[in-house]
A and B are shown apart, each in its own frame.
Chain A
């Protein structure tokens, strides 16, 4: 037992730990130190182990697999849904009644997907399922795992929003990092969940206004629902450029963490 305790100590105090010879001799004799057999075997071969003790890296497993999968499926889905959605909007680029119809926005065809209304609807009706599925899995995972605590914007984050915004946009002093995400990030990420929910619910109404007439009523009717659906898209379009710029500014390790889950040398403690 003594041996094990010493081993624990060694791990905890690395990389500059100096139990060197004592720990090693103990290890070799110890019968219960199986987890460390590799180290024990290595010891006699490399007597100068102390000098070659590998440096340890601080890292955090920030993004569990379900979060990473849903992040990328949502990202791809959003790209398809926005570009095909703009093509659908071109067919009736207005809100409210058919006559008099005012063309509110003439969206260039080059920004759209699907080629024509029917093609765009096919893309939209396919990726709405991917988007809905990834949204449901994402929220369910966040809630069940408790992981949502890292990103959910709560009232006590309100005070931190302005100092962070001042830092980003007005070159103010950088507030100390308190957790995985700062208050402004929490606000942004929580907003995207809200936009996603709004996009899905209004989408259901636009797709099935008769079967979900009660939901249409909650959104203020068919015409207003179309507006809310558009608002949800605008929310994403407001979020995405800022998100991409931040990712660019924060470098490879930050971006790679959304692929591998692991972030090297995070800015925060604990």
Chain B
């Protein structure tokens, strides 16, 4: 639609319309590193909040047939530090703390005595790769029932023999595919994959699935600055798929 107007009117209208665009310039604050560091961290927290809302507690991650699973030799070893913190497998116990009725030390045999779940699921790394592997273990929800945990608590914190640490939202912890995993490919976990016990949760990214478990804690309040090894450096805390 072409209109004809006086030059000064066109200029005035143009200026007025230009000013209406000014709010977009607010995005310029992202050019200042000190501000943008905090803003993008807030962006991740917002994304985590949205992710929690999107999470469906009973929606299963895809499972695969045995023929679709990568061979054990091709399942990558991944660790942030060492691949063998030299856990004494004979003396190992899992320490259970926090908002539970029966806190204390639990032997691997007690976890293995619970109903075993075997699942072929996709392990997705934050880097962008993924592998379909075969995992076996006890449901975390079964174990938390056994120890009399407060299922209404908000978080599960875990600490590991390699000084890795993690915290996970309870909805994801109680998902039926979330395991205390002690087997891969029908064999006991080897040292590189987190012997004797690791988290295995196909609804979470790999870095949430801590290996070499030593302590789990049911809590409503996260230890300050201890959200997770990678999360404390900037990774998304929810880390959900």
User: Could you list which residues of chain A lie within 8 angstroms of chain B, going by C-beta atoms?
Assistant: 14, 54-61, 65, 68-69, 72-73, 76, 80, 88-89, 91-92, 94, 97-99, 101, 117-119, 121-123, 125-130, 208-211, 213, 222-223, 226, 256, 259-262, 264, 266, 268-270
CA distance A54 to B236 in the complex (A): 61
* CB contact under 8 A between A91 and B128, given known A60-B2, A122-B234: yes
Q: What residues of chain A lie closer than 8 Å to B234, measured between beta carbons?
A: 118-119, 121-122
Q: What residues of chain B lie closer than 8 Å to A76, measured between beta carbons?
A: 24, 27
CA distance A75 to B6 in the complex (A): 32
What is the size, in residues, of chain B's interface with A at 8 Å between Cβ atoms?
56
* CB contact under 8 A between A210 and B61, given known A60-B2, A65-B20: yes
- 6 shortest interchain CB distances as A-B pairs: A126-B43, A118-B234, A260-B14, A122-B40, A92-B128, A98-B129
CA distance A60 to B145 in the complex (A): 70
B241 in the interface (beta carbon within 8 A)? yes
* CB contact under 8 A between A58 and B4, given known A72-B21, A121-B236, A209-B241: yes
Taking a contact as CB atoms under 8 Å apart, the answer to whether B230 and A129 are in contact is no
* CB contact under 8 A between A210 and B17, given known A88-B128, A129-B47, A269-B2: no
Question: Which residues 3-26 in B have Cβ within 8 Å of A in the complex?
Answer: 3-8, 10, 13-15, 17-18, 20-21, 23-24
B122 in the interface (beta carbon within 8 A)? yes
Taking a contact as CB atoms under 8 Å apart, the answer to whether B5 and A56 are in contact is yes
Taking a contact as CB atoms under 8 Å apart, the answer to whether A210 and B62 are in contact is yes
Taking a contact as CB atoms under 8 Å apart, the answer to whether A59 and B44 are in contact is no
B131 in the interface (beta carbon within 8 A)? yes
Q: What residues of chain B lie closer than 8 Å to A68, measured between beta carbons?
A: 17, 21
Q: What residues of chain B lie closer than 8 Å to A92, measured between beta carbons?
A: 125, 127-129
Residue among B5, B43, B62 with most chain A CB within 10 A: B43
Q: Contacting chain A: which of B51-59, B82-90, B92-100, B211-219?
A: B51-59
CA distance A88 to B126 in the complex (A): 9
CA distance A92 to B125 in the complex (A): 10
Chain B residue at minimal CB-CB distance from A206 = B128
Q: What residues of chain A lie closer than 8 Å to B230, measured between beta carbons?
A: 118
* CB contact under 8 A between A260 and B17, given known A119-B234, A121-B235, A126-B44: yes
Residue among B40, B47, B70, B203 with most chain A CB within 10 A: B40
Q: How far is the CB of B169 from chain A (nearest CB, A)?
A: 14
Out of B46, B76, B240, which one reaches A129, CB within 8 Å? B46
Out of B2, B4, B21, B23, which one reaches A14, CB within 8 Å? B4
* Apart from A121-B235, A122-B40: 20 A-B pairs, beta carbons within 8 A: A55-B6, A60-B3, A69-B24, A73-B27, A76-B24, A80-B30, A89-B128, A98-B125, A118-B235, A123-B40, A126-B39, A126-B46, A209-B241, A210-B59, A210-B61, A211-B59, A259-B21, A260-B15, A260-B17, A262-B17
CA distance A223 to B41 in the complex (A): 28
CA distance A268 to B2 in the complex (A): 9
Chain A residue at minimal CB-CB distance from B23 = A69
Taking a contact as CB atoms under 8 Å apart, the answer to whether B2 and A55 are in contact is no
Taking a contact as CB atoms under 8 Å apart, the answer to whether A118 and B233 are in contact is yes
CA distance A27 to B5 in the complex (A): 21
B74 in the interface (beta carbon within 8 A)? yes
Taking a contact as CB atoms under 8 Å apart, the answer to whether B130 and A98 are in contact is yes
Taking a contact as CB atoms under 8 Å apart, the answer to whether B7 and A55 are in contact is yes
* CB contact under 8 A between A210 and B128, given known A59-B4, A59-B5: no
Taking a contact as CB atoms under 8 Å apart, the answer to whether A261 and B47 are in contact is no
* CB contact under 8 A between A211 and B56, given known A57-B6, A73-B24, A261-B17: yes
Chain A residue at minimal CB-CB distance from B71 = A99
Residue contacts A-B, CB under 8 angstroms, 26 given: A56-B5, A57-B7, A58-B3, A61-B3, A91-B128, A97-B74, A98-B74, A98-B129, A117-B127, A118-B233, A118-B234, A121-B236, A129-B46, A208-B240, A209-B122, A209-B241, A210-B59, A210-B203, A211-B56, A211-B240, A211-B241, A222-B124, A226-B128, A256-B14, A260-B13, A269-B2
CA distance A209 to B10 in the complex (A): 51
Q: How far is the CB of B55 from chain A (nearest CB, A)?
A: 7
CA distance A219 to B160 in the complex (A): 38
Q: What residues of chain A lie closer than 8 Å to B10, measured between beta carbons?
A: 57, 59, 262, 264
